[in-house]
Amino acid sequence: MGKIIIFLGPPGAGKGTQAKFLEKDYGFIQISTGDILREAVKKGTELGKLAKKYMDEGKLVPDDVIVGIIEEKLEELKDKNIILDGFPRTIPQAEALDEMLKKKNKEVDAVILFDISDEEVIRRLSGRRIDPKTGNVYHIEFNPPPEGLEVIQREDDKEEVIRKRLEVYHNQTEPLIEYYKKQNKLLKVDTSKPVEEVYNQIKNMLKL
C-alpha cells in the first residue's frame, strides 16, 4: 500500500487546491467521502445500497458503513498514495479508520492541518461569485468578475451559512487535532501564505 495522508481543516482552507498539486506531481489520489459514497451508491455495491437507504431517509450514513466503503476503495487503489479529505470528521471515525488499517498492517502516515483563522475563511468564501451561465468562479477581492457581468453568490457562500459550517467544524473536527497530535502524526501548515509556498511546506513535510 502507498502512503495514506489526511487533510484536516475548515472549508475554504485550500485543501482541494493542494490535493490537485499532489495528484498532478506525485500521482496521489484524493478520496472525498461524498464522492466515494455517491460512487458506491451508483455502482450498487452492498454497502452502497445500505448508504443509499440512509441518504434517501435524509439520515447521516453511519461510521461503520463509511469506513467499509473507504476500505473497499483502498483495496481497489492498493498501491497508490491516498489523500483522505473530509474523513475522518469525528474521533469515532478516526478510531474506526485506525482499526481497519491495523488489520491490513497499515496506518495513517501523516495528518496535515490547514491552519487558518475563521475570519480568513469567511473572507475567502463569502467573496466568491459565480457566473450562472458558464459556472466560472470569481472573487470580489482576488479575482473580480468583468464589468457588467451578472454574477450570483451561492447559498453556501453566504456569511451566516459559513459561520454555521465553521461551528460544526470546530465542534466535530477540532478534537481530531489532539487525537493525531498524541499519535505524533500532526503536521501544521500555515495556509495564509501564497499557494506555492503552502505547497512547498507540504512537500517538505511529506519528504517528497
Catalytic residues: 15, 89, 128, 154, 165
- Residue 198 in marked binding region: no
- Cell numbers 461569485: residue: 129
Q: How many residues does the chain have?
A: 208
- Residue 124 in marked binding region: no
Contact indicator for 73, 36 with CB cutoff of 8 Å: yes
- Residue 123 in marked binding region: no
- Residue 59 in marked binding region: yes
Contact indicator for 155, 165 with CB cutoff of 8 Å: no
- Residue 102 in marked binding region: no
- Residue 96 in marked binding region: no
Grid cell locating 145: 468578475
- Residue 22 in marked binding region: no
- Residue 27 in marked binding region: no
- Residue 9 in marked binding region: no
- Nearest Cα neighbor of 118 from 168, 186, 175 is 168
E strands, the chain, in order: 4-8, 29-32, 82-85, 110-115, 128-130, 137-139, 186-190
Q: How far apart are the C-alpha atoms of 1 and 79, rounded to whole Å?
A: 5
Binding residues: 12-17, 33, 38, 59-61, 86-89, 93, 128, 137-138, 154, 165, 193
Binding residues for ATP: 12-17, 128, 137-138, 193
Binding residues for AMP: 33, 38, 59-61, 86-89, 93, 154, 165
